[in-house]
Each structure stands twice: as C-alpha cells, then as structure tokens.
Amino acid sequence: MALMALAVICQVCCAMEFNGTTYHLGQKEVEVIQPVNASKLNLTLSEKTENITLLDENGKRVGLNSSYLFWRGNNIYGLNFERHVSGDLIYTMPQQGQQFVLPLEDSGPVRIILPQGYTTGDRILGIARPSPDEFHSDEAGTILTWYNTSQIQYIEVSYYRNNALQALLTIFAVLAMAAIALLTEYYISMRRLRSLRKDEEKII
C-alpha cells in the first residue's frame, strides 16, 4: 500500500481514539501501524520485514537508521530516528493462508483488521482466540480489538469469506438431498426385489 494510503489509515485509527498497534491483514502481507513517542526504538518481530516507515503526527515521513540482528528465532531491529517523534511506525510482514498468529511482546492494546470480504466467529469455520474485547463488522470490514493483553501470550485469528457459511450450508443441503435420493432409490429397489421373489415363489 502506498505511503499516502498508510497515512490515511493512521488518521482513521487516531480518529477512533485507539492508541495501540494495528494489524491490517492482506492476502499476502500484514501492514502494522505502531504508535511511537521516542527518538529510538528496539523492534522485535517473529517475521522479517524489509519495509519500515516512520510518520510524525502530521503524516510526514521521518528519516531513521536501523540495525538488524537475528537472535533465538526473533528478528530484532534497532531503530534510531533523526529526532524525537510522536507518530506511527509502519512496516509489513508476510502473511499466508487464512490464519494469523500474533506472539505478544508487550501488553499494549491490539487491533486486527481482517481482509476486505472476510470475517470470523463461527466455531466450524474459524474464531479468534482469545475472544476480542470488541468486535465490529460492517460493509467496510471486520475489526477485532483487545484492550488488555497483559495476560495473553499470543492472539490467533482464523478467518473466512463472508459467504463461506452460506456456501457450506448449501453443500450440506445438496449432500442431504443426494442422500435422500439414494435412500429412496434403495428402498424402491428393495421393494422391487421382494415383489420379484414373491412372484417366483408363486410360480414354484
């Protein structure tokens, strides 16, 4: 997503008075928007990122220097900003499939925005663990929010297309109709065989 679009997302999040980290899930990557108020930051990620951008409170890009270290399965970035910044740190991580697992390094609020046209909450198709403190779903998308993550080690969200439940019910209905048709045919065949046997016995 372009830098301008990311800035718009930041402004929307601020307008909703959310002061935590937002994870915007896509088809192939996750866009992360993390609030900062510092001149430097250590960023520890489970996945490697090649794209880190810093925006100030006015949405303007701020320069930064970074160092990288892979240690015990973690990707550690040492970030030094050119000045003290109150704004948003934006970066991307790879994402595959329809399940998102987020290990938590701190206890700050977390917001996860599902891809457009996807939702969660059905125990057969997929749910969020633990249950979010706030769940909002409309034509614009599905948003899950956890405000207190101090006792949570990780968040796991399995999601599916909005029409997946309807499609699943349709498949079950077709299978049920097919089963009824097979049972009916079996019943008719059995009656026909019994009738033939009775006719043979009469002849004998």
pLDDT by residue (tens digit) across 31-75? 999 999 999 999 999 889 978 999 999 999 999 999 999 998 899
Kindly report the pTM of this predicted structure: 0.74
What SS3 state is found at 79?
Answer: strand
CATH 3.40.50 fits 3-160, yes or no: no
pLDDT tens for each residue of 97-123: 899 999 998 889 999 999 999 999 998
Where do the structural domains in the chain lie, given as residue ranges?
3-160, 163-204
Q: To 10 degrees, the CA torsion angle through 108, 50, 89, 33? A: -60
